[in-house]
C-alpha cells in the first residue's frame, strides 16, 4: 500500500507545491552585503535558469564564502586580478563561473561591494520541479541525490557553464529568488588544503539534515 500520502506525511524534501514560474529575482541589495551574510542567507534561496529547454531550478542547500584578497583560499587571494577573476572585482549580483579540474564548471555569486573581490560558491542544490530538464542533462533520475549534490553536478544539471560568466543575476535568464531555510549548519570549507591558516575558517553553510548536502559535515 504505498503511494497513498496525506499532507501530514509529506517529507521535508518534497517541494512539489512550489511554483518556480512565479519566483522573482532578488534585488541587487541582497548581494551588496558582507559575504558571510550573503552566503548564509543564500541557503534556502532558489536558483532559476531559463533557456531553450525551458525552466530549470534548484533550492540551494550548501554554500561557501570566499573573501579575497586576504583569504588565501580565494581565487582573488593576494589581490590577484586577471581575466578570470575580473568579475569578482566588479559590482555584486553577477555570476562568477570557473572550470574545475579541466572538466566541471562551478557557479558563484559575486557579493559585497565593487573593489571587494568576494564571492559565494554554490556547492549543492535540491532539485525543484519540473525535474525533466535536469534529468536529461545528467542522464539520471531526480530520485538520486547524486543529481545535484556537488558544485560540478549542479551546474551540469541546471545547464550552467562558461557562457554564464559575468551574467547579471538581477534581470536575465539566470537569477536567485528568495527562499527560507531552517536549521542552518556551519563548518570548514571543502578541499582547500592549500590555503594555510584559512583552511579552518567556518565559512561553509548548509541546511542540516538535507539529503542533497554534498559531504557529511565534520563535527
Q: Smallest distance from the beta carbon of 106 to DNA, in angstroms?
A: 6
Contact, 154 vs 161, CB < 8 A?
no
Of 12 and 100, CB closest to DNA: 100
| Residue (23 or 96) nearer to DNA, CB | 96
- CA dist., res. 202 & res. 92, Å (int): 22
Closer Cβ to DNA, 23 or 45, answer by number: 45
Residue in 130, 145, 129 with CA at minimum distance from that of residue 209: 145
Residue among 169, 27, 24 at smallest CA distance from 90 = 169
Shortest Å distance, C-beta 110 to DNA:
10
Q: Which is nearer to DNA, 40 or 138 (CB)?
A: 138
Q: Contact residues for DNA (CB under 7 A)?
A: 64, 66, 73-75, 80, 82-85, 96, 98-104, 106, 108, 119, 121, 138, 146, 150-154, 156, 190-192, 194, 214, 216
Q: Least Å distance between CB 108 and DNA?
A: 5
CB atoms within 10 A of CB 81: 14
Q: Cα angle vertex 49, ends 57, 113, to 5°? A: 105
> For cell 562558461, what's the residue?
162
**Closest distance between DNA and the C-beta of residue 34, in Å?**
16
Amino acid at each position: 500500500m504505498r503511494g497513498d500520502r496525506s499532507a501530514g506525511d509529506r517529507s521535508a524534501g518534497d517541494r512539489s507545491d512550489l511554483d518556480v514560474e512565479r519566483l522573482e529575482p532578488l534585488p541587487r541589495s541582497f548581494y551588496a552585503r558582507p559575504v558571510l551574510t550573503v552566503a548564509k542567507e543564500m541557503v534556502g534561496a532558489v536558483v532559476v535558469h531559463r533557456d531553450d529547454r525551458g525552466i530549470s531550478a534548484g533550492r540551494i542547500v550548501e554554500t561557501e564564502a570566499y573573501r579575497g584578497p586576504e583569504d588565501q583560499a580565494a581565487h582573488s587571494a593576494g589581490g590577484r586580478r586577471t581575466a578570470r577573476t575580473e568579475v569578482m572585482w566588479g559590482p555584486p549580483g553577477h555570476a562568477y563561473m570557473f572550470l574545475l579540474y579541466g572538466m566541471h564548471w562551478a557557479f558563484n555569486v559575486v557579493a559585497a561591494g565593487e573593489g571587494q573581490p568576494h564571492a559565494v560558491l554554490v556547492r549543492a542544490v535540491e532539485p525543484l520541479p519540473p525535474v525533466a530538464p535536469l534529468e536529461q542533462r545528467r542522464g539520471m533520475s531526480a530520485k538520486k541525490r547524486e543529481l545535484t549534490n556537488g558544485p560540478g553536478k549542479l551546474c551540469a544539471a541546471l545547464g550552467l557553464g562558461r557562457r554564464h560568466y559575468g551574467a547579471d543575476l538581477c534581470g536575465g535568464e539566470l537569477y536567485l529568488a528568495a527562499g527560507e531555510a531552517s536549521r542552518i549548519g556551519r563548518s570548514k570549507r571543502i578541499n582547500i588544503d592549500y590555503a594555510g591558516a584559512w583552511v579552518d575558517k567556518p565559512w561553509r553553510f548548509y541546511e542540516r539534515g538535507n539529503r542533497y548536502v554534498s559531504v557529511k559535515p565534520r563535527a
